[in-house]
């Protein structure tokens, strides 16, 4: 949503004695704070606009109008860039998140006998391009595997599980998923499709990261 508009669902309409229409609407909890900010006092003027069918469906399903922008960022690899990832959390933050995910290979967990919590191990996808070297684990490159799967990776190589292409795909998937979760937390939203490109561009610009935004979207910054 824009900063001066709130989506709502129409409920009732009543004609008052002087002919004034009194309209009752419902506003989603995710928009409540913004609604209170915009209409904090009785008598504040506003305008009513009916959303077209697709926009209404998107609002009801939790999808906002800015999904295309965020999909473009993902497609451009913005959330695989180490410079961007470092602004969202440390490699250890990422690895701790990975350990709480089910295995990328089987969907299984190992279980902590003391707590009963499901845990996996961080299996690093070592690529020179990502900073790998002798005895060096590149940052933001781990995927979740069970202990036995992790041992298999070390003993039989990547081909023993899914092959190089599969590991690269999984690494990109998990890093992007973690990064998007951190971005949602940064903007305090359930869906980034509600975050205006201008706000995102400001975040990138303040951290000197606009180079990771597709060229066609930078002009609004």
- Rg of the chain in Å (alpha carbons): 23
Residue 92 has a pLDDT of: 96
CA distances (Å), origin 213, targets 166, 201, 209: 26, 8, 8
Which residue is listed with tokens 């590149």? 138
Residue 89 has a pLDDT of: 97
- Other C-beta atoms closer than 10 Å to the C-beta of 138 total 19
Residue pLDDT tens, the chain, 221 long: 334 667 777 778 888 778 788 888 877 655 655 665 566 556 777 787 776 665 555 555 456 889 999 999 999 999 999 999 999 999 999 999 999 999 999 999 998 888 888 999 999 997 645 544 445 688 999 999 999 999 999 898 888 888 889 999 999 999 999 999 999 999 999 899 999 999 999 999 999 999 999 988 886 55
Strand boundaries in 3-162, DSSP class E? 9-15, 21-26, 110-111, 118-119, 121-124, 142-145
Residue 3 has a pLDDT of: 44
Residue 161 has a pLDDT of: 87
Residue 10, φ and ψ in degrees, nearest 5? -70, 140
Q: Which residues pair with 136 in a beta bridge?
A: 133
């Amino acid at each position: 949503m824009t900063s001066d508009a709130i989506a709502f669902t129409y409920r009732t309409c009543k004609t008052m004695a002087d002919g004034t229409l009194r309209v009752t609407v419902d506003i989603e909890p995710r928009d409540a704070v913004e609604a209170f900010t915009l209409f904090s006092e009785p008598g504040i003027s506003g305008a009513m606009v009916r959303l077209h069918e697709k926009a209404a469906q998107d609002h009801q399903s939790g999808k906002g109008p800015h999904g295309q922008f965020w999909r473009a960022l993902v497609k451009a690899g913005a959330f695989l860039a180490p410079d961007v990832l470092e602004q969202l959390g440390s490699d250890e933050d990422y690895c701790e998140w990975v350990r709480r995910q089910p295995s990328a290979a089987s969907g299984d967990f190992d279980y902590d006998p003391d707590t009963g919590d499901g845990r996996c191990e961080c299996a690093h996808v070592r690529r020179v391009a990502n900073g790998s070297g002798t005895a060096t684990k590149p940052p933001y490159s781990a995927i979740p595997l069970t202990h036995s799967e992790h041992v298999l990776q070390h003993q039989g190589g990547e081909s023993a599980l899914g092959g190089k292409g599969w590991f690269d795909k999984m690494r990109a998937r998990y890093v992007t998923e973690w990064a998007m979760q951190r971005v949602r937390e940064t903007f305090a939203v359930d869906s980034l499709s509600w975050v205006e490109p201008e706000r995102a561009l400001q975040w990138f610009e303040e951290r000197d990261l606009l180079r990771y935004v597709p060229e066609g979207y930078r002009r609004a910054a």
